[in-house]
Structure 1
Amino acid sequence: MTAIFERHIHLEGAFNVRDLGGYAIGTGGVTRWRSILRADGLHELTPGDIERLLEMGLRTVIDLRSPVELENQPSPFHVHEAVRYNHVPLFSELAPVDLLTRGPGMFDLAARYVDAADRCRPAMGRVLAAVADADEGVVLFNCSAGKDRTGLVAAMLLSLAGVGHDEIVDDYALTGSVATPLLDRLRQQAVARGLPDDVALRLLSCEPATIRSLLSHVDERYGGFRTYFDDAMAAEHMNRVTERLT
C-alpha cells in the first residue's frame, strides 16, 4: 500500500513547516517524502511539536537565520542530543525585520532575491554541503518566516532534483496560504513600527513572479543551479542531495 503524506505539517508552535516530497521530476517519478522539510522559526515549538518531528525522523536542522535572530529566538534544536544542528547564516538582508524597516523604496523582492543569488553563492554552497553531509533521517532547514531565505534554498534543492520551474513556483507560493497567521503577525509588527501597510503587504507577499525571476536569473547567468557553484566539491554534494530527494 502506498503511504499518503501531508505536505503541510500542522504544528502548534510553527506555521510553515512543509515537506519537499511529492513534486514531479522531469525524468519521471516524484521527490521523496519525509526526506527534506522547509520551515519558519522553530523557537515556539511545543514539546509535543518537537516529539512529533523526532518521530517523523528529524535528525538534522539547518538554521539560516542571522546570529542576532538566533540570540533573540534560540532554536530548540541548538543543543539537542538527537539532532545535528547547523547554523548557516544566509543573507540577513532577507530577514523579515531587516526587510520591513528599509522603507517604501526597498520593496522589490524579486531584485532582492536576484541580489542574494549573486552575493551568496558561498553560503548557498555551505547549505548544500550541510544537506549532502547530513546523517540518515529527515533534514529540516528554516529561517524566520520560512518564505525568503528558505524559499531560495527550496528552489535550489528542488531544481537540483529535477523539479520544473512551475512546481517550484507553486511550492514558494504555498506560504501565502498556509502561513497566514504568521504573515499577519509580521505585518502588524511592521505597521506598529511605522511602515505603511501597503509596503508591509508587498514585502510579505508570495507572488509567483518573485521566485520565477530568481529561477530565470540563475538559468540565464549561471546555466542553472547545476552550474551555479564553482567549488570542486559541489558536484559531489549535488549528487548526494539529488539522491536524498529522489
Structure 2
Amino acid sequence: MQPQFERHFVVAGTFNIRDLGGYASGEGQTRWRRLLRADGLHRLDAAGMAMLTDEGVRTVIDLRRDHELESHPNPFRDNPVVAYHNVSLFDALDPAAMTGGDVLLDLYLAALMTRHGAVAQVLTLIADAPEGIVLFHCTAGKDRTGLIAALMLALAGVEAAVIVEDYALTGPMIAPLLETFVADAVARGTDIESFRPLLACKRQTMVATLAFLIDHHGSVEDYLRSIGLGHDTIDRLKMRLTREV
C-alpha cells in the first residue's frame, strides 16, 4: 500500500507546491513523492530548501523566462544536492498577441504547437532524472507548470476530469499572490487590463486544451511522439509516476 501524503506540500515561502501522486490511473494510482508541481521558489530560505531536499527533491526544472530568473533568482541554482535546469517553456510567446476569447487557452495551444523543442526537453529531463523527486515550477505554478502536469498525468492514464480538477486547484492556492503578480506587472510596464485575464484558472481552459490534444493527435502519447520523444523516453515518463520502487 502506498503511504499517505497531503497533496499540498506546505513549505514557508511557497503557496502552491503540490504532489501529483494519489490519482487513479491505468496502473492503479500515481505514485506519491515522484513529481511535485510548484509556484516560484525565490522566497524559500535555507530551512525551506532543506525541507524539500530532506523529503527527496533531487531535480528542479525551472520553466520561467530570463527576466523572471533575473528579478527572482532560483535558490536551487547553486544547491549542490539538486540538479537544476532552466527551460523557458513559453519563450517567444506573447500573451498580448493572443486574440481569442480565452487568452490562456490560446497561449497553451500556441505552446503545444510551436514550442515542441522546449516541451520535449522538459519531459526528457523528467524521464532521465536520477532517483528522487522531480520538482518543476514557474511563477504561479498554473500555466507552464499546469501544462507539463497535464501531459504527465494524461500519459500516466489519469482521466481528463481529474486532470482538470488538478489544474483548477491552483486558483484558490495562489489567491494571496494575485496582487503581487499585478504589482510586478505594473513595474514591468505591462498593461494591467490585458494582464488580469492571465490570472484566471478556469476549468474550461484545461478541458479545451486536453480536447485539442485528442482531436489533433488522438492521444497525449501520440502528441509526444509527434514532437520527437522516443518509445523508451515515453516509457520512462510513465514509470516515473506509476512504477513501484
| TM-score, scaled to structure 1 | 0.89
Q: Contact 1:61/1:141 (CA < 8 Å) preserved in 2?
A: yes
2:202 is the alignment partner of 1:207: yes
Q: Contact 1:114/1:213 (CA < 8 Å) preserved in 2?
A: no
Displacement after TM superposition at 1:230 (Å): 3.0
Structure 1 residues 194 and 124: CA distance shift in structure 2, 3 A: closer
Supply the distance in 1 between the matched residues of 2:28 and 2:104 (Cα, whole angstroms): 32
Q: Contact 1:89/1:123 (CA < 8 Å) preserved in 2?
A: yes
1:224 to 219, 227, 230: 219
Supply the distance in 1 between the matched residues of 2:44 and 2:33 (Cα, whole angstroms): 19
Supply the distance in 2 between the matched residues of 1:237 and 1:104 (Cα, whole angstroms): 32
- Structure 2 counterparts to residues 88-237 of structure 1, below 5 A: 88-92=87-91, 99=95, 102=96, 108-190=103-185, 195-196=191-192, 199-228=194-223, 229-230=225-226, 233-237=229-233
Q: Give the AA of the match of 2:31.
A: R
For 1:9, the equivalent position in structure 2 comes to 9
* 1:181-213 C-alpha deviation (Å, 9 max, x unpaired): 12232135446757456x544220100011111
Structure 1 residues 2 and 61: CA distance shift in structure 2, 3 A: closer
Q: Give the AA of the match of 1:116.
A: A
Displacement after TM superposition at 1:63 (Å): 0.9
Displacement after TM superposition at 1:104 (Å): 10
Structure 1 residues 2 and 62: CA distance shift in structure 2, 3 A: closer
Supply the distance in 2 between the matched residues of 1:41 and 1:80 (Cα, whole angstroms): 16
- Structure 2 counterparts to residues 28-47 of structure 1, below 5 A: 28-47=27-46
For 2:236, the equivalent position in structure 1 comes to 240
Q: Contact 1:104/1:196 (CA < 8 Å) preserved in 2?
A: no
**Number of residues paired by the alignment?**
239
Supply the distance in 2 between the matched residues of 1:12 and 1:103 (Cα, whole angstroms): 36
Q: What secondary structure sits across from 2:8 in the alignment?
A: coil
Structure 1 residues 63 and 51: CA distance shift in structure 2, 3 A: same
* 1:57-110 C-alpha deviation (Å, 9 max, x unpaired): 00001111122221222111112111011111101366xxx64xx399676211
Supply the distance in 1 between the matched residues of 2:180 and 2:24 (Cα, whole angstroms): 33
Q: Give the AA of the match of 2:72.
A: Q
Structure 1 residues 6 and 222: CA distance shift in structure 2, 3 A: same
Displacement after TM superposition at 1:244 (Å): 1.2
For 1:71, the equivalent position in structure 2 comes to 70
Q: What secondary structure sits across from 1:227 in the alignment?
A: helix
Q: Give the AA of the match of 1:52.
A: M
Supply the distance in 1 between the matched residues of 2:97 and 2:86 (Cα, whole angstroms): 29
Q: Give the AA of the match of 1:54.
A: T
Supply the distance in 2 between the matched residues of 1:220 and 1:2 (Cα, whole angstroms): 35
Q: Which moved more, 1:232-241 or 1:172-181?
A: 232-241
Supply the distance in 2 between the matched residues of 1:204 and 1:116 (Cα, whole angstroms): 17
| TM-score, scaled to structure 2 | 0.89
Q: Contact 1:8/1:178 (CA < 8 Å) preserved in 2?
A: no
Structure 1 residues 231 and 191: CA distance shift in structure 2, 3 A: closer
Supply the distance in 1 between the matched residues of 2:184 and 2:98 (Cα, whole angstroms): 16
Q: Which moved more, 1:114-123 or 1:163-172?
A: 114-123
Supply the distance in 1 between the matched residues of 2:157 and 2:83 (Cα, whole angstroms): 27
Supply the distance in 2 between the matched residues of 1:83 and 1:196 (Cα, whole angstroms): 36
Supply the distance in 2 between the matched residues of 1:132 and 1:10 (Cα, whole angstroms): 26
Identity of aligned residues (%): 44
